[in-house]
A and B are shown apart, each in its own frame.
Chain A
Amino acid sequence: MTLLAADHSTVPVDSDKSRAEKLRADQLGVGIGERWFCRGLEQSFEAGQVWGVLGANGTGKTTLLHTLAGLRQPQQGQVWIDGQSLSQLDSRTRARQIGVLLQEAAPAFPATVREVVLQGRYPHLSPWQWESAEDFERVEEALQQVGLAELGERDQQLLSGGERQRLKIASLLVQQPRLWLLDEPTNHLDLQHQIGLLQQLCDGVRQRQELLVMSLHDLNLAARFCDFLILMHQDGSVAAGPAERLLTEPELSRLYGHPIRRIIDQGRAIFIPL
């Protein structure tokens, strides 16, 4: 866990060392009602990194992601993005920087897959502007990428859970954020899409020196894709650091309150609940 000194909480630093910093949790306290999920979280997230957030149900993974995304006010402290306080950004500017994948919300009205994906362009267009041919091209590209190209004219209400998840990812792709905050991106996805889409997203983020933070349930996906992890324990304590240091049997067994075995197969760590 990178514990930074107190002088960090004053102003954004612009020394060479922190230039690659995209996002910083600054004495961050996150909770709902009386319950704290984490307090005094001090963590810097740098360009080109992929982070995983792990924890049992109800330990505040979603709430933490929403706070980092600026969708929730932190109870304590604040979030800095590129040296700017997140709470100072207006919502459209924020949406051009930060893309969030939210958990399922069932659509209330019919709309075609293409229309929904196109809405991802919203923060890039001025209020009376209509989408350009370029925007439509982006939509087609994104549909290709998530394997929904055939279903462009399908009503979103008729999609399966996995297709709907890929639809949301496509919408996020056309939003072109530089910070990707994904709440359980692999929900409803079958195996090949879990691996394929995460691989694409992580490769893109590393290549373009962006930042990706995602909550995951699958330890093996976390081990495969994440460079760094945030472990949210049931007692409200949080551990953050390089994945290889945190993916140990005792740490994970404590995290889930269930014994977990770590096996090495062909040089790759595999985790099995006992």
Chain B
Amino acid sequence: MNIPLRVKLFGLLLLALGLASFLLSLGVGSFSIPLQALGSLLLEQGVSIERSVVMDLRLPRALSAMVVGGQLALAGCLMQALLRNPLADPYVLGVSGGASVAALISILLGLGGFWVSGSALLGALLNMLLVFGLVQRSGRWSSGRLLLTGIVIASGWGAMVSFLLAVSDGAELKGMLFWLMGDFSNSGYPGWHSLWLGLGLLCSMAAARPLNILVRGELQARALGVNPRPLQISLYLLTSLLTASAVTQAGSIGFLGLVVPHLVRIVIGSDHRWLLPCSVVTGAVLLLLADTLARTLIAPQQLPVGVITALLGVPLFLILLNRDNRDSH
């Protein structure tokens, strides 16, 4: 195994950037903690306001942001490869819509925290069953059909979300908006969600080389000895789980899953054996930075992180798009 030079350099850069943004996210906020003090706070026992701010608020939030960022970037990579469409993102098949609708309904029913997350997860899975069931029933499985069905179902969920918001009263509205715009202000330690990320990365790494071939088209993949159907089904399932887990932690955060794979592809190329792990780390670092910005930019007021990712994602994506155009002329 030869690690290409650009992967090595990119990895080092990411590591440095990741460490810096991690320390930054622990240090800055409504009251800042200097770098030297951070080390002793993290390692030593004891009770102090600083320590509880870091351990109970900033650290879990930073870890959550990293896990969600990694999950979204991985799901985006996989979705783009599976649909052979560089414009796909983790939400393109309606996973976040299904999760949001289920979560909103449980909020309207007056259910509490755990039930809301649980029903979000169920809603996401239900959405996948619905989309796949419809495509399967039509008897003509193709990624184009899957994409169309997913987009239609997603817009259906969108309509239901608007409906639920319209009929709900003011008191619940703020909590409900959370599901529409990603936000980490209530997040605890990522816990078992990080397990999904780890498992997801491991499984998709095992599929990385067949995936390289699958993006050349199903027929070509079979001609080279890849059996596409089981690979596709298990990876779609994995992608939905990753997305569902991300949505449950932080609502839907736009642009990250779309932009990160493109960004990484430009730097290190399209080999999924490098693309997948590098995207996970890039997604983690970028979302951590975005969340730090979100809670400090107009402090003491906090912005939903989705606003920041969209503000950064839109120009970034346009630049990448222009770059592609320039190359091909």
Chain A residues in contact with chain B, CB under 8 A? 66, 69, 71, 91-96, 98-100, 102, 105, 107-112, 115-116, 119-120, 122-123, 125, 127-128, 130, 155, 157-158, 175
Contact B213 A71 (CB under 8 A): no
Which A residue's beta carbon lies closest to that of B222? A71
Contact A111 B269 (CB under 8 A): yes
Contact of A115 among B85, B220, B265, B271 (CB under 8 A): B271
Contact B225 A92 (CB under 8 A): yes
- 7 more A-B residue pairs beyond the given contacts A95-B224, A108-B86, with a C-beta to C-beta distance below 8 A: A71-B219, A108-B84, A108-B215, A110-B265, A115-B271, A122-B213, A123-B225
Contact B217 A95 (CB under 8 A): no
- Contacts A107-B216, A108-B215, A110-B265 given; does A122 touch B209 at CB 8 Å: yes
Query: What are 13 sample pairs from A and B whose C-beta atoms fall under 8 A apart?
Result: A92-B225, A95-B223, A95-B225, A102-B219, A105-B216, A105-B219, A108-B85, A109-B80, A112-B269, A115-B269, A119-B213, A122-B224, A123-B225
Contact A122 B225 (CB under 8 A): yes
In the bound assembly, the distance between CA atoms of A132 and B199 in angstroms comes to 28
Name the A residues within 8 Å of B80 (CB-CB). 109
Interface of B is mostly: loop
- Contacts A119-B212, A122-B213 given; does A109 touch B265 at CB 8 Å: yes
Name the A residues within 8 Å of B223 (CB-CB). 69, 71, 95, 98-100, 102
Among residues 195 to 243 in chain B, which have CB atoms less than 8 Å away from a CB atom of chain A?
Answer: 206, 209-210, 212-213, 215-217, 219-220, 222-227
In the bound assembly, the distance between CA atoms of A155 and B269 in angstroms comes to 10
In the bound assembly, the distance between CA atoms of A155 and B266 in angstroms comes to 11
Which B residue's beta carbon lies closest to that of A177? B223
Contact of B224 among A112, A119, A127, A157 (CB under 8 A): A119
In the bound assembly, the distance between CA atoms of A94 and B221 in angstroms comes to 12
Which B residue's beta carbon lies closest to that of A172? B223
Chain B residues in contact with chain A, CB under 8 A? 1-2, 80-81, 84-86, 206, 209-210, 212-213, 215-217, 219-220, 222-227, 265, 269-271, 327-328
Which B residue's beta carbon lies closest to that of A171? B224
Name the B residues within 8 Å of A107 (CB-CB). 216
In whole Å, how far is B267's beta carbon from the nearest beta carbon of chain A? 12
Contact B216 A119 (CB under 8 A): yes
Contact B222 A91 (CB under 8 A): yes
In whole Å, how far is B143's beta carbon from the nearest beta carbon of chain A? 10
Which A residue's beta carbon lies closest to that of B220? A102
Of the listed residues A93, A96, A123, the one surrounded by the most CB atoms of chain B closer than 10 A to its CB is A123
In the bound assembly, the distance between CA atoms of A100 and B221 in angstroms comes to 11
In the bound assembly, the distance between CA atoms of A91 and B223 in angstroms comes to 8
- Contacts A105-B220, A110-B265 given; does A157 touch B225 at CB 8 Å: no
In the bound assembly, the distance between CA atoms of A128 and B208 in angstroms comes to 10
Contact B328 A158 (CB under 8 A): yes
Name the B residues within 8 Å of A115 (CB-CB). 212, 269-271
In whole Å, how far is B229's beta carbon from the nearest beta carbon of chain A? 11
Contact of A127 among B86, B206, B220, B222 (CB under 8 A): B206
Name the A residues within 8 Å of B86 (CB-CB). 108-109
Name the B residues within 8 Å of A71 (CB-CB). 219, 222-223
In whole Å, how far is A85's beta carbon from the nearest beta carbon of chain B? 17
- Contacts A105-B219, A109-B215, A115-B269 given; does A175 touch B328 at CB 8 Å: no
In the bound assembly, the distance between CA atoms of A107 and B225 in angstroms comes to 19
Which B residue's beta carbon lies closest to that of A92? B225
Which A residue's beta carbon lies closest to that of B212? A119
In the bound assembly, the distance between CA atoms of A157 and B271 in angstroms comes to 15
Name the A residues within 8 Å of B224 (CB-CB). 95, 119-120, 122-123, 175
In whole Å, how far is B314's beta carbon from the nearest beta carbon of chain A? 22
In whole Å, how far is A118's beta carbon from the nearest beta carbon of chain B? 9
Name the B residues within 8 Å of A92 (CB-CB). 225
In whole Å, how far is A39's beta carbon from the nearest beta carbon of chain B? 24
Which A residue's beta carbon lies closest to that of B209? A122
In the bound assembly, the distance between CA atoms of A75 and B160 in angstroms comes to 45
Contact of A96 among B215, B225, B265, B270 (CB under 8 A): B225
In the bound assembly, the distance between CA atoms of A262 and B80 in angstroms comes to 52
Name the B residues within 8 Å of A102 (CB-CB). 217, 219-220, 223
- Contacts A91-B227, A96-B225 given; does A111 touch B270 at CB 8 Å: yes
In the bound assembly, the distance between CA atoms of A265 and B7 in angstroms comes to 59
In the bound assembly, the distance between CA atoms of A95 and B217 in angstroms comes to 16
- Contacts A119-B212, A122-B226 given; does A105 touch B217 at CB 8 Å: yes
Name the B residues within 8 Å of A105 (CB-CB). 216-217, 219-220
Name the B residues within 8 Å of A155 (CB-CB). 327
Name the B residues within 8 Å of A91 (CB-CB). 222, 225-227
In the bound assembly, the distance between CA atoms of A111 and B211 in angstroms comes to 13
